Amino acid sequence: MPIDRTWKKRLRISRFSKRVQIVTTLFLSHPSSLDHDTGPGHPERADRVRVIDRMLEHERFQMLHRALAPGNDHEAVLRVHPFAFVEEIEKIAPKEGMIHLDQDTIMSPGTLEALAHGVGGAVAAVNEVMRGAAKNAFSASRPPGHHAEQALPMGFCIYNFAAIAARHAQAVHGAQRVAIVDFDVHHGNGTQSIFWSDPNVFYASSHQEGLFPGTGKASDEGQHRNILNTPLQQGSGGAEFREAWEGKILPAVRSFSPDFIVISAGFDAHHLDPLGGLKLTETDFAWVTGELMEIAEKQCKGRIVSILEGGYDIEGLARSVAAHVLTLMSA
């Protein structure tokens, strides 16, 4: 699709080279995210990326380096999702109207391009961070991804961008040990399933116990004890969240000794969010981001890529993303 002039103005389109000056935080997005139409009343809506774009226009973010997410990288997708599944998604994509892949997961005529740039954003973020052009990166696209299993879309998700980022880091940049950490209010069942038997990928999640999709039990450890879930009770706030991370997740990430970290950055654990029952504030997201950055600085040259997942209250999402990105920029 042609790039909207407004987006051209807002995004300082970058063409990185080996001689480019290192930037602290790279922000990747693309207007195609707006064209993934989920219909009236759906919580996963275009306003999510609109409010992020508006928030990041604030003068506090003038040093944030922005780039348009490139298009699809089929090879990157196929490292996670089987060819037959990808082929079927492309085949059934509607030319008009909308189709339901399940009760909540929808495709419209703009979905394939949104997915393409979601993949491209995740891949470009990994490329620039791994080769040292950026210290860290945040890719904001929709639909989200962490519920998508290898051959099963669900929970608004079709392709698993965090998994694609991790596999790309392994396959293209030689990452030996990748940690994926997830603070979305919902458990990332897709990510857990994809990496269940991979000893070189560690997946850790804090999420509301019993919430959709009902997975993420504390007893789930993975084939190589590479899975860690810390379910939180409904109504838990910052104190319980920080206790789970300080007591379990952060020590486990340190023990795993990753050389690359991917954050599944869902902000629907915010107290304003309509789809969850946790009581976090934006300061909690800033705190956990800072803690992960400290680990990254000591163990993997500061290399972090953050991928947007959930967050369905517009005000809560905007405030949380601002706190998250400002913390990333402090590296």
* Interval 159-166 mean pLDDT: 98
> Predicted confidence band at 53 (pLDDT cuts at 50, 70, 90)?
very high
Give the C-alpha separation, 210 to 198, whole Å.
Answer: 26
pLDDT at 330 over 90: yes
Comparing CA positions, the residue from 302, 261, 288, 287 lying closest to residue 135 is 302
pLDDT, tens digit (0-9, with 9 covering 90-100), for 266-317: 999 999 999 999 999 999 999 999 999 999 999 999 999 999 999 999 999 9
* Percent of the chain at pLDDT exceeding 90: 92
* Interval 196-209 mean pLDDT: 98
| pLDDT at 23 (0 to 100) | 83
| pLDDT at 72 (0 to 100) | 77
Contacts of 264 (CB under 8 A, 6+ apart): 145, 146, 162, 180, 181, 182, 183, 184, 188, 191, 205, 307, 309
163, 150 contact by CB (below 8 A) = no
pLDDT at 80 over 90: yes
| pLDDT at 220 (0 to 100) | 98
Is the peptide bond prior to 213 cis by the omega test (within 30 degrees of 0)? Answer: yes
| pLDDT at 264 (0 to 100) | 98
Mean pLDDT (the chain) is: 94
Grouping H, G, I as helix, E, B as strand and the rest as coil, residue 242 is helix
* Interval 233-254 mean pLDDT: 98
pLDDT at 233 over 80: yes
* Interval 49-68 mean pLDDT: 96
The catalytically annotated residue of 30, 36, 65, 147 is 147
* Percent of the chain at pLDDT exceeding 70: 93
- pLDDT higher at 281 or 73: 281
Q: How many domains does the chain have?
A: 1
Establish whether 147 is a catalytic residue: yes
pTM for the complete prediction?
0.93
| pLDDT at 303 (0 to 100) | 98
* CATH number of the domain enclosing 264: 3.40.800.20
Distances (CA, A) of 243 to 5, 87, 112, 257, 321: 46, 43, 40, 21, 22
| pLDDT at 21 (0 to 100) | 56
Comparing CA positions, the residue from 152, 144, 153 lying closest to residue 275 is 144
| pLDDT at 114 (0 to 100) | 98
* Interval 100-118 mean pLDDT: 98
Q: Look up the domain containing 210 and give its range.
A: 5-329
pLDDT at 145 over 50: yes
269, 276 contact by CB (below 8 A) = yes
Grouping H, G, I as helix, E, B as strand and the rest as coil, residue 216 is coil
